[in-house]
Structure 1
Amino acid sequence: MHKITLIPGDGIGPSIVDAAIKVIEAAGVQIEWDRQVAGMAAVEKHGNPLPDATIESIRQNRICFKGPLTTPVGGGYRSVNVTLRQAFNLYANVRPAISFEGTDTPFKNVNLVTVRENTEGLYAGIEHFIKVDEEKIAAESIAVVTRKGSERVIEFAFDYARRAQRKKVTLVHKANILKCTSGLFLEIGREVAKKYPEIEFEDRIVDAASMQMVMKPGIFDVIVTTNLFGDILSDLASGLVGGLGLTAGANIGVDAALFEAVHGSAPDIADKGIANPIAMIIAASMMLEHIGELKAARAVEQAVRDVIREGTHLTPDLKPGSTCGTADLAQAIVAKLG
């Protein structure tokens, strides 16, 4: 029996999380869910978007399954997602982008994984306003790239490639312009690559890599990059395979791991029963693999692929005009596992 912190989330979160739980149960994995709240649901209940009880639950259970959260506007609230990553030092964000047969996209053979440094860079949150003269105000943001942070995420990317039997790691940077921050990341990447002679290593400048990703996505295997670049490139990769509704993410640290759909809480369609639960179900598959339930993880992934390929139980975002809802799509996946 696995004990896992469960955060249903905001907007469509509770419905897609419920769908994913049904799929996990159908896969035969026994989990004791420790239900907690964060985001707007937590503000409404506790006046705090990230209550101490939620933090303590994740600290104790070390695994968290999380729906999309809404960070309150105003009031000085930081992004709950960023706060969670930094609170538990979830330094590696892993985002697979693998083509699904049956999706309406011209890219049919995408198979890449973005490993994004998750706690440093421009998202370290070090920014302020400065006075440049008597009348003009400027805003300044500081990117933090450390040797320790760079080494651990680059080593994670190579270890991931080795475990997954992938052949190449591409480090994406802007060292031609950002000679200190990107330059350090690239320097460390070249050092780490020497420890993995069986894995091909290359580096690409981020703007060129972006162009190449949409022209020749097949040249990429595992991408490792800094926080901001990884945020952008992983969403770009999601677009190649059908969008954020088909993309999940894992946030991995030494002492904890958090699994989530990477799209937002979509309050405009909350409680309408039409939200696409696939990203959340793929997140469940990634989580099952992480906790050692490999057979169940592969079964869930295959069931998702079978349902998408057949195309008869897809939500309207995947099949315009469809009357299939969240529960219908989840039940179709459950049926494949039966």
Structure 2
Amino acid sequence: MHDYRLAAIPGDGIGPEVVEAGLEVLRVCAATDGGFGVAIQAFDWNSENYLLRGHYIPDGGLEQLRTFDAILFGAVGSQRVPDDVSLWGLRLAIVQAFDQYANVRPARLLPGVSSPLDKGDDIDWVIVRENSEGEYAGHGGRAHRGLPIEVGTETAVFTRVGVERIHRFAFELASQRPRRHLTLVTKSNAQRFGMVMWDEIFFEVARDYPAVKVDRELVDAATTRMVLKPDSLDVMVATNLHADILSDLASALSGSLGIGPTANLNPSRQFPSMFEPIHGSAFDITGKGIANPIATFWSVAMMLEHLGEARAAQRLMHAIEETTAAGEHTPDLGGQATTRSVTAAVCRALTG
């Protein structure tokens, strides 16, 4: 029996609510599986403590976090802290320090969930997002603040090693799926340097994967294709910014942002990987007990799969699907269920 050390960072808004639910389901999953155990340590790195102490991650925090097998993250963002401060102070600080360069976001219509698309049943995608550089590299600056000649620059950074490794990751993933189809998402018609390199490296890597069917789509056209021809897509690989946007669209088309999971992977396993729901802090429903925990449960399933607990991950996904099929839906899915009732239903499905 293997015991995993897991770090939990609930964060802000509904983060603590859904992480608590996720940990409850994880413990039940471990107890009923019998093949592994979990030891969980929570970290109170959030915006409230930032306002009190002036930092999100304390000195030595990343070194401590590095000792864990995986991280479950809730959300970060506060109406009292600028978004760029909270994002760079916590989530991106972890992603970049631990070289979690592969962001993986699956999207499909769960049983019993309705899509705004007539063709919603055709949604079965995985969006692979370059997670370490590109438009979110953090390069740029501002000068002459407050003056008419003020300048703000934001520099997208594309390195050969960064581009090649995310394309290779996407090809490996696509080669394991039944359709073996990978779509390159780009904007190289307008972004003629870094993104032209992005395209060139993709087709260089493609030569190593002759069994994978490939095509190329400009990011704006990709959004229309997702809406009008969802069955024409399988795995998509896109830059940090483009995939960030496309994955939110994918979750919305799948029924709700409340069901979208995320894995921030360090494929080399030199550092722990981090798993989180896609939905963010959601201040409008914080404390109401109606946050949808499904995205967190699905993220936990991805974490279990990453840890090598494939059977437990599959059992948890079956429990999630059984719960959504039974109509246990929170308000974002048009139902009246609560965070607690959905959590209880998934736990019953795991133990039944």
Same fold flag (TM > 0.5) = yes
TM tier, shorter chain? over 0.9
Per-residue deviation at 1:46?
4.1
Indicate if the aligned counterparts of 1:34 and 1:57 stay in contact, CA closer than 8 A: no
Alignment of 1:168-317 (within 5 A): 168-253=181-266, 254=268, 255=270, 256-311=272-327, 313-317=328-332
Distance 1:296 1:316, change over 3 A: same
On the 8 A contact 2:6/2:68 being kept in 1, the answer is: yes
Q: CA distance change for structure 1 residues 74 and 328 in 2, over 3 Å: closer, same or farther?
A: closer
Q: In structure 2, do the counterparts of structure 1 residues 204 and 75 end up closer, same or farther at CA, with 3 Å as the change threshold? A: closer
TM-score normalised by structure 1 residue count: 0.93
1:102 equivalent in alignment to 2:94? no
Check whether the contact 2:142–2:150 (CA below 8 A) recurs between aligned residues: yes
The residue type equivalent to 1:8 in the other structure is P
Tell me the residue number matched to 1:77. 85
Task: For residue 272 of structure 1, report the CA deviation from its aligned partner.
Answer: 2.0
Name the counterpart of 1:113. Answer: 126
CA change 1:187–1:267 in 2 (3 A) is: same
Residues 145 and 252 of structure 1, relative CA distance in 2, 3 Å threshold? same
Contact 1:250 1:258 in 2 (8 A): yes
**Cα distance between partner residues in 1 of 2:176 and 2:163:** 20
- 2:225 aligned partner, one-letter code: Q
**Which of the numbers 306, 331, 334 marks the counterpart of 1:319?**
334
**Stretches of structure 2 lacking an aligned partner (at least 5 in a row):** 31-35
Tell me if 1:127 matches 2:140.
yes
The answer on whether the counterparts of 1:8 and 1:66 sit within 8 Å (CA) in structure 2 is yes
Deviates more, 1:75-84 or 1:286-295: 75-84
2:33 alignment counterpart: none
Aligned identity (percent) is: 38
Give the TM-score, by structure 2 length: 0.89
Unpaired runs of 5+ residues, structure 1, are: none
**Post-superposition CA distance 1:11-32 (Å, at most 9, x none):** 2112211111121122225210
- Give the C-alpha shift of residue 203 in structure 1: 1.2
Q: Please state how far the C-alpha of 1:263 moved relative to its aligned partner.
A: 1.0
Q: Quick one: distance in 2 between partners of 1:45 and 1:32?
A: 29
**What is the letter of the counterpart of residue 33 of structure 1?**
I
8 A Cα contact 2:167 2:202, kept in partner = yes
**Is the CA contact (8 Å cut-off) linking 1:172 and 1:206 kept in structure 2?**
yes
Distance 2:122 2:98 in 1: 35
**Could you say which residue in structure 1 is the equivalent of 2:20?**
18
| RMSD of equivalent CA atoms | 2.0
Counterpart-to-counterpart distance in 2, 1:225 and 1:308? 30
**Equivalent residues of 1:37, 1:54 under 8 A apart:** no
Cα distance between partner residues in 1 of 2:15 and 2:82: 22
- Looking at structure 1, the residues matched to 49 and 172 of structure 2 have their Cα atoms a distance apart, in angstroms, of 36
Contact preservation (8 Å) 1:130, 1:138: yes
2-structure distance, mates of 1:295, 1:285: 10
Larger CA deviation: 93-102 vs 76-85: 76-85
Conserved? CA contact 1:43–1:49, under 8 Å: yes
User: AA paired with 1:73?
Assistant: V
Task: State the SS of the aligned residue for 1:335.
Answer: helix
